[in-house]
Amino acid sequence: MGNDYRYISKPLPRRDAAGIVTGTALYMDDLKFQNLLYGKILRSPHAHANIIKIDKSKAEALPGVRAVITWEDIPDWRGGTPRIVRVLDKKVRYVGDAVALVAATSEQIAEEALSLIDVEYEVLPAVFDIDSALRPDAPLLYEELGNNIIPGGTPIYGPNCLQGVVRGDVDKGFAEADFVTEGTFGYENTPNALPAEALGAVAFWEPPNKATIYGTSQAPYMDKVTLFHVFNREIEVRSIGHNVGGSFGTKFMCWQVQAYAIILSRATLQPVKIMYTKEEHMASFTLRIGSRIHAKVGMKKDGTITAIQGTWYVDTGYYSSTTQCQVAVGAGELMIMVQCPNWDLKSVVVATNRNASGSTRGFGGQELEAAFNPTLNLTMEKAGLDPLEVYKKNFVKPGGGYYWRDGKFYDNRGVDFTKAMDEGARVFGWKDKWKGWLKPTAVNGSKRTGVGVAVHGNADIGEDTAEAYVQLGYNGTATIFLCVAEFGTGQKSNYIKMAAEVLQIPPERIEMVPADTLVTPYEFGPVGSRGTYAIGTAVINAAEDAKRKLLELAAPKLGADPKDLDTADGVIFVKNKPEKGIKWRFMGNDRTLLGCGRFESDFTMCNCLMSFVEVEADVETGKMKLLRVVNATDIGQIIDPPGLEGQLNACWGSAGIDSAIFEETVIDRRTGHIVNANLIDYKWRTFAELPPVQNVILETPFPSHRFHAVGIAEIATAPGPSAVLMAASNAIGKWLYQYPVTPERVLKAISKGVA
């Protein structure tokens, strides 16, 4: 596909490329403001404690300090799901929890002021894992809940928000199975996605009840909505977006740092800026959810899965903001991966005294499947089946279906991904490399190579509402109004490309206004791979609406019916008489011609990514090395080839494949401190160490929008951890069950048979 398009599928330069590579693109820390104050946060050294007393008098007396704010100075403002998390509280629930806020004329003065605040704590017992938190005598993080279980469901997804899957008759399904396997496994290493830019915000307070924020958020409009509710619907928030230095899903929900900046600006009546240090970003911002499942799987000899039963335990940290959403999406994604008639899958969201969890690329499904797949692997081993064939057999096909996040069942009207899986297997050489379960592909001295495969799909490609405007200019130009912040993916350039294709004008003649909730229409945000289908549809519809109005306006001038007209390069012409035309200039410079576009949620299609990996294990040292990755997918139509390659090539990072090898947030389970919250001790891959990645991309038209495309970026990381765990086990000939597969765990498995 793509040959019939003028701009779609062509590798055109990104609109922001020159600014990024020359260093002239402006990010949060580059923005300049008059009379700016600097905010800092005093953080708790304890994982769980009551604040008995705070003496801030010495800090307030320090020259240059403009405000010192504690929980006693603000109303009962709350966030989270449910809304039980106070913006500032007299109780702290993790190491790094906010105790006090300071605004001063310089960062240095603000830092000094923090050291002058005296806090008396009553230290409380803490819980750092699911087992401890669920004990009957466990200390409570929130007394109002009565236990450490966070209620499931979220109003965002409606009254029937998916909390698990109950369907059919699991007893009947297990009775029909030839093989039944049961086990408890987890994906609990809570890796950090590590976007390059730390978290930050600048806030302006306008009495009596308005605030404007600039933030490092990928979803500016949702910041406006979220903060409106955090502040008890008493403060109107204007949110302005700009360049964001990476997110990988983590900067979808930044309400706390934004709330801190607003509170300090309200107290000082000056703009206040808060930028997290990299250490704060790693130690005090959100992490992946911790995931553990006790699962039971039934399978027939031919690989048909007959029953799935289990309880999914989710460690959300000290509070939940998006965890219930991740549970809802993750449960649906497991159904996409496994088309099974009989289900009894339940979920339990658990609060613990560590960082809160938040959205991260992979959003629920990666965490659930990484924990579930070891049990599935054991079942496939019992049956003696090739995992590629089992995945191909059970992944959703057109006409199949799944429950999705709102609790409704959707019939899949997408495409069959089997061809993409087969082509990926051919490019990888799966048929030759796969030797069977717990069998290495090759042995060379102490080195063993092994292969693995996993698959993932997501129906959030069509999630939530999107709105866009396209305004036409008399000189053959256009302007897109869309509340999207550029966070590294190049999506803004793609929207320009889509509008250019509809209007048939060069992309360089199209501008896009900055995201600003006072100017741009509602937009949920570029998350869940919804950018291509959901947001793209809104832009396409707006461009088509603008084009329709333009042709209607020109029709009398050309003595033709609007349906007989078309436009290209700023000229409107009669289709069968292209020499008969007029330039857009005819509309005059005193007219605003605005097209409006909207998209409504559609969960009837999903995307798919299958990842094949090859690893090398040294059985003497335990070192595990990723040798090669092949990703296979079908996306309908490539919009931007380099951008697509970049998204898929990033499968190893941002808490993806490498979370199965060495990426891990190490928490001292005695104190709750994160001991590797820096870029020296946190193990991650540098550009010099990237393994080769090949991407197999088919283009079977989807019934989406006029360009028949769907997004894929959200799930680029998702199958990788499971595939690596399988490959590592096959390499050493012993089962590995824990992430990451560190040398210690590898050597333990070799010596004792399991790790």
- In this structure, of 174-183, 267-276, 527-536, the range with the lowest mean pLDDT score is 527-536
Residue 538, token pair as written in the block: 């809104």
- Residues 680-702: tens digit of each pLDDT: 999 888 888 889 999 999 999 99
Residue 162 DSSP SS3: coil
- Residues 32-82: tens digit of each pLDDT: 999 999 999 999 999 999 999 999 999 999 999 999 999 999 999 999 999
Span(s) in the chain for CATH 3.30.365.10: 17-26+464-599, 290-461+604-752
CATH 3.30.365.10 correct for 17-26+464-599:
yes
- Residues 537-595: tens digit of each pLDDT: 999 999 999 999 999 999 999 999 999 999 999 999 999 998 899 999 999 999 999 99
- Residues 217-264: tens digit of each pLDDT: 999 999 999 999 999 999 999 999 989 988 888 888 899 999 999 999
**Residue 488 near residue 216, CB atoms below 8 Å:** no
- Residues 603-635: tens digit of each pLDDT: 999 999 999 999 999 999 999 999 999 999 999
Residue 725, token pair as written in the block: 């765990």
- In this structure, of 116-120, 239-243, 350-354, 415-419, the range with the lowest mean pLDDT score is 239-243
**Residue 337 near residue 305, CB atoms below 8 Å:** no
pLDDT at 2: 46
450 pLDDT higher than 70: yes
Using a cut of 0.85, tell me whether the model's pTM lies above it. yes
pLDDT at 448: 98
Interatomic CA distance for residues 95 and 115, integer angstroms: 17
Span(s) in the chain for CATH 3.90.1170.50: 31-124+199-275
Query: How many distinct helices (H) and strands (E) make up the chain?
Result: 19, 32
Interatomic CA distance for residues 112 and 91, integer angstroms: 24
When the candidates are 3.30.365.10, 3.30.470.20, 3.40.50.150, 3.10.129.10, the CATH number that belongs to 290-461+604-752 is 3.30.365.10
Interatomic CA distance for residues 329 and 153, integer angstroms: 11
How many of the other CB atoms lie within 10 Å of CB of 591?
12
- Encode 695-727 in three state secondary structure: EEEECCCCCCCCCCCCCCHHHCCCCHHHHHHHH
- In this structure, of 96-110, 648-662, 710-724, the range with the lowest mean pLDDT score is 648-662
569: left (phi over 0), alpha (psi -120 to 50) or beta: left
Question: What's 31-124+199-275's CATH class?
Answer: alpha beta
**How far does CA 49 lie from the centroid of its chain?**
32
Interatomic CA distance for residues 225 and 204, integer angstroms: 17
pLDDT at 755: 54
Q: Ranked by mean pLDDT, which of 298-312, 480-494, 648-662 comes out on top?
A: 298-312
754 pLDDT higher than 60: no
Q: Which of 247, 327, 362, 285 is nearest to 656 (CA)?
A: 362
pLDDT at 1: 46
DSSP string, 523-556: B--S-TTHIIIIIHHHHHHHHHHHHHHHHHHHHH
Residue 421, token pair as written in the block: 């899986």
**Residue 179 near residue 383, CB atoms below 8 Å:** yes
Interatomic CA distance for residues 521 and 535, integer angstroms: 12
**Which is it for the CA torsion 258, 259, 264, 267, positive or negative?**
positive
- Residues 365-418: tens digit of each pLDDT: 999 999 999 999 999 999 999 999 999 999 999 999 999 999 999 999 999 999
Percent share of the chain, pLDDT over 90: 89
Residue with tokens 């629930």: 93
Residue 557 DSSP SS3: helix
Q: How is residue 515 annotated by DSSP?
A: P
Residue with tokens 């991966």: 337
Q: Which of 127, 153, 87 is nearest to 349 (CA)?
A: 153
Interatomic CA distance for residues 282 and 48, integer angstroms: 19
